[in-house]
Structures are given as C-alpha cells and as structure tokens.
Chains A and B, each alone.
Chain A
Amino acid sequence: MCGLQKIDAMPLLQVKNLRTYFHTRNGVVRAVDGVSFEIEKGQTLGIVGESGSGKSVTCYSMLGLIPQPPGRIESGEAIFDGVDLLKAGPPQLRKIRGKRIAMIFQDPMTSLNPYMRIEDQLIEPLLIHERTDRRRAVELGVQALKDVGIQDAAQRIRSYPHEFSGGMRQRVMIAMALITKPDLLIADEPTTALDVTVQAQIIELVKRMQAERGMAVIWISHDLGVVAGLCQRVNVMYAGRVVESGPTDGIFRTPQHPYNRALQKSIPALQPKGVELYTIAGMPPDLSKPVAGCAFAPRCEFVQDICRTPVELKAGASGQSTACVRVQNGDLKL
C-alpha cells in the first residue's frame, strides 16, 4: 500500500460530531446526538451505556446499516482510512463492509440465515469481495471454522444454523466476520445472548484473534465487567452522547462524570453484601424531546443551573474526557 505512512499517522477510524435522527410519527428521535471518537489500528475500544443510549446506532450509522427512512444521518463524518463513510455511496460502502470493517451481532440465533448452509454464508464475504473461486473459498472456510475452535469443521461446514448451539453459531459469526481479515471488527453485544461460560469463551476467542491478526475492535456492551477486561479505551454513552471517554483504567477507577460514577456504583458485585442495591433515580430521557445542556441533569445529584447550558466533551489532565460542565470548571470533584 502506498499510503502506509499516512495510515500510521492517522487513526484507523475517526468519528466527528455524528448525529443520527429517526424521523418517526411521534417526532424526531435523536438516537445519536453529536458523537465523536477515534480508534487506532489494533486498539480495542469499548462503548458502554444502557439500552437506547445510541451505542449500536452509532456503529450502524457508520456502515450505512440504518434503515432510511425513518433514520437519517444529520451531520458528522467518519473517516476510515481516508474515506468518509458517511458520504460514501452505497457501492463504495459495500466494498468496505464485510471486507475491511466486519460486524458480529448480539443474537447468533437470528443473525445467521436459517435457509442457507453454514458453508454458503461463511464463504460469502470471500466470493463478494475477493472473487475467490469456490473450491478455494471452501478450503479457507473450513480453516476459518477450525480457527474459531469448531471440531470436524470439514463436515460441520455443510450443516444448517439450526444444527448448531448458540455459542457455536457465534463462533461461526466470528469466523465469517474475520474471513476477509478486516482492519476493524465491530462487535455489537456479541455475548449478551449467551450463557456465562460461553461468554468467556467467545471473549477469549476474540482476544486471541485480535492478537493474531492485529485488527482493531469496537466492543459494544452494557456489561461493564466484560469491557473492563477487554478494552484499552472506553466511551460511556448516555442519551445519544458520549459523556465520558478515556483509558479503561481511568473510566473504571476514577469516574469523573456523575453518570459514569452512578453507573459504576450500580454494579451489584462492587457493593457490600446485604446493602440495598444502588439505582439511578428517574428514567432515561425521552429522546424525541430536545435537551438543553446535559442530558443527565434531571437525574444528577450534583445538578446546578449551569448544567442547562450546552456542554462538550473536553479532555482533562489524565487523558480522560468528560462532558460535565461542573467537572470541567473544576468545582466538582468526584
């Protein structure tokens, strides 16, 4: 590649001010509202947040997987290797999807096509993107299944998805995503639908594949424990915005944003036994109503009038960025 120096100088993916709105009958839902982040080659970025905080929509927007309408990308850019994914046309995006950026999904039970053999689904990225001839593609497919730890790969590749267990299907999904050796893997809650032992296996598998191939990973999850053990950097999202971002250690040990702090406090395992479980008072905001200032303000115990003014994510001293006006002004230390 001739642009190697340029790639090294720039982050692999740089997202700036991404806004994705859904124009529904009940108004405009601001699912993603000004999200910026970047990820370096080979790095692992975790995106955490509760359901509906915009984690998945952020990633789907970059790949053009948002149903449009009702979805619409209102602003922003997502520069991947010099190409703005948000401005790329469908043919250009199709060349990147499944080839350079691959995805795995939450529910392996429904994410594989029940009407097609594993073989046909597994080798599809090779047929689409690399025009590999079929016999060679099947060989690579069998190898890919072996790599993700499926026994008797040469026989099992002829099976249909319903003949596999959930964990096995997620292994197939991973093999399928990695078969074109992508630069970036987006994992959308890939362990949520699996039981705990299988979860651990899948996480280990992704770690191992990442170490072998040096790809970057965006790991979307609401499981803070999984993210803590896997990622170098973490974005904490709330109501369509990144409220805190930084190295994993800082995010978990020294949370600065009140929402992040409350989130850490809600992990049952970190609380003394016998104490009533901590919950954040109130409900996440209705995203179809515009919010002036901090979206967490109505539920925040440190709220002041200044919190109703617009707030941006700003880097602090430790390399941890926080979107809290009071923290930025230095009058709130958590």
Chain B
Amino acid sequence: MFRFIAARLLQTIPVLFVVATLTFFMVRLVPGGPFDAERNVPPEIKRELEAYYGLDKPVFQQYLDYLGRLVRGDLGPSYKFANRSVNEMIASTFPVSLQLGGMALGLALLLGITAGVIAALRPNSALDYTASGISMMGICLPTFVLGPLFILVFALNLRWVNASGWFDSADRILPAATLGIAYAAYIARLTRGGMLEILSQDFIRTARAKGASEARIIFRHSLRGGLLPVVSYLGPAAAGILTGSFVIETIFQIPGLGRHFVTSAFNRDFTMVTGIVIFYAVLIVFFNLLVDIVQIWLNPKLKY
C-alpha cells in the first residue's frame, strides 16, 4: 500500500509540470497584460513595473525563473494585488472555501445517499418517483437560481439568516445548502443506480435466504458495492466543491478562493492564474488518489 501511494505521488510530478507549463504559456497568449487598464499607466511607470516583476525579460527566461520558484513552492507575487504573493492569497481565501465546501459536501452525501437508497429500496414506487423527481429538479436548477431563491425566502421573507456575508456561523447555512443540493441530487442518482445494480445480484437473494433483515441487507450487503459509483464521482467533485464556486461566492459575498478563478483571468494576473490552476491540479490529484485508496478498501477484488 505504501509503495502504491509513493508511486502515485511520484506520478504527480510530471502531471504538475505539464499543467504549469501549459498554463504559463496559454495565459500569455491572451492579448493584454496585467498592467493594461482603461486608464493607461504612464509608459515609464509601466516599464518600471515590468522590470520590477521581470516581465521585460524574454518569455522563456521568465518561464525558467517561474519554474525555479515553483520548485521551492513559491507561486510568485500577484501582479494585481500589490505586495501580496499568490501563496498568501490562496492561504487567506482557501480556508473559507474549504469550510463552505466541506459543509456542502457533507450535506450532499447525507441527502444524496439517503435519497438514493430510499429510491432504490422500492424501485418504480411513488417514493422512488418522488426522490428521483426531486433530485432531477436539483440537477436542473442552477445555483444562480436556487441561491437568490433561498435568500428571498429565508433571509428577506422569513428573516432567519443574513442575506449575505461570512461572519457568524448562521451565514454558512444558505451558501452550503445551495452548493450542496446540486451535488446531493447527482449523488442521489448515482446511489440509486449503484444500489439497484447490487440489489438485483444473486448474493442478495442468498442474504435473504439466510433470514437477513432489510436493514442488514442494505447496510451489510449492499451499501459497500452500491456506493462505488459515488466514490468514483467524488474525486473530481470534491476538488471542485472544496475550491469554491464563483457563483456562490458572488451571490453570498463570501471571501473564498472561487471568485479568484475568474477575476484573475480577467485581470491577466498571470501568476495568480497559473498558481490557482496548479493548486487546483494538486487537489484533483490528491482526491483522485484518495478515491483510489477508498475503492481498494471497498472492493476486495482490486489489487494494487
């Protein structure tokens, strides 16, 4: 197991190198630079800035400099937020997104797995159609519809929580619910499918013939195999949900990492874009590794 994990971690090095290289050159292919704005900076100041950040050097030299710092874990200075490094930016915003994403993920798993199992227990019954229908609605309703709707009902009409902001713990409820429900809906469908597949297997008949109760059949005999599709889905989904969502963070005014994904690209904040993409890639690799480990643990037929 240790060797498997070590090998997988080694494999991530070339992956991250390719990601860093592609992103570095692609952001520079886009017209415009970090110091272009509607009101132009005087040319001599712009030259000073570019010299300060090393942007006057040949691109390939910049690339080598960037890689040199990257190896030491330094993602460079932000070109847009003066005196702040990309590392600092991620360090200050990621915990917020992590907290929001963690709550949303927990909610999504709880709601999704419960609804999926219930639907699978009585396939094609009223209960199944209700659970499947609600989850289909959850998939179809985009967060930018659901979020304002929640604000309207729970913040403006009922006045239970604040409409936006990120101050006390009650502020976490609406954004976590909005973000979680979309994922819950998808998890519910995956769970239903996985459970139906397992419940139709011969070994479930064996379990029934042994006199196992319905609860025992679900929890001891089915859930382990039935959740495999959900686990595969969770790798990329967890990386996405934990790094924050531009839409949610904008609607609820949350100081998370998600909005930097979009704003840094508009700002041509080269280091910020590259830095966030690399950070995201690290998370994806990490969660996929986690998923593989969980799958090995769930499915005894898998060998490493």
Q: Does B221 contact A (CB under 8 A)?
A: yes
Q: Does B69 contact A (CB under 8 A)?
A: no
State in angstroms the CA–CA spacing of A99 and B225 once bound together. 26
- Count A interface residues, CB 8 Å: 29
181-203 of chain B: CB within 8 A of chain A: 201-203
CB-based contact A114/B300 at 8 Å:
yes
Q: Does A116 contact B (CB under 8 A)?
A: yes
State in angstroms the CA–CA spacing of A278 and B220 once bound together. 49
Which of B20-28, B99-107, B210-218 forms contacts with chain A?
Answer: B210-218
CB-based contact A115/B210 at 8 Å:
no
Q: A107-B202, A110-B201, A124-B220 are in contact. List 19 more A-B contacts (CB 8 A).
A: A65-B205, A65-B209, A94-B212, A94-B213, A98-B210, A98-B211, A102-B210, A105-B202, A110-B202, A111-B202, A111-B205, A114-B203, A114-B301, A115-B298, A116-B224, A120-B220, A128-B216, A160-B301, A176-B210
Q: Does B207 contact A (CB under 8 A)?
A: yes
Question: Taking CB as reference atom, which chain B residue is nearest A117?
Answer: B300
CB-based contact A99/B211 at 8 Å:
yes
CB-based contact A65/B203 at 8 Å:
no
Question: Taking CB as reference atom, which chain A residue is nearest B216?
Answer: A128
Q: Does A103 contact B (CB under 8 A)?
A: yes
Residues in chain B near residue A97, CB distance under 8 A: 208-211
CB-based contact B209/A114 at 8 Å:
no
Q: What are the 10 closest A-B residue pairs judged by CB atoms, nearest first?
A: A98-B211, A98-B210, A110-B202, A97-B211, A113-B203, A160-B300, A103-B209, A115-B224, A94-B211, A111-B202
Assuming A95-B211, A115-B224, A128-B212, is B301 touching A162 (CB within 8 A)?
yes
Residues in chain A near residue B216, CB distance under 8 A: 128
Residues in chain B near residue A112, CB distance under 8 A: 203, 206
Residues in chain A near residue B209, CB distance under 8 A: 63, 65, 97-98, 102-103, 105
Q: How far is the CB of A9 from chain B (nearest CB, A)?
A: 27
Q: Does B232 contact A (CB under 8 A)?
A: no
Residues in chain B near residue A308, CB distance under 8 A: none
Residues in chain B near residue A120, CB distance under 8 A: 220
Q: Does A96 contact B (CB under 8 A)?
A: yes
Residues in chain A near residue B208, CB distance under 8 A: 65, 97
Question: Taking CB as reference atom, which chain A residue is nearest B201?
Answer: A110
Question: Taking CB as reference atom, which chain B residue is nearest A106?
Answer: B202
CB-based contact A124/B203 at 8 Å:
no
221-235 of chain B: CB within 8 A of chain A: 221, 224-225
CB-based contact A116/B205 at 8 Å:
no
Q: Does A34 contact B (CB under 8 A)?
A: no
Q: Does B299 contact A (CB under 8 A)?
A: yes
Q: Does A129 contact B (CB under 8 A)?
A: yes
Q: How far is the CB of B88 from chain A (nearest CB, A)?
A: 46
State in angstroms the CA–CA spacing of A99 and B210 once bound together. 7
Q: How far is the CB of B214 from chain A (nearest CB, A)?
A: 9
Q: How far is the CB of B257 from chain A (nearest CB, A)?
A: 37
Partner of B211, one of A96, A107, A111: A96
Question: Taking CB as reference atom, which chain B residue is nearest A114?
Answer: B301
124-150 of chain A: CB within 8 A of chain B: 124-125, 128-129
State in angstroms the CA–CA spacing of A116 and B213 once bound together. 17
State in angstroms the CA–CA spacing of A124 and B208 once bound together. 11
Residues in chain A near residue B225, CB distance under 8 A: 114-115
Partner of A116, one of B201, B202, B211, B221: B221
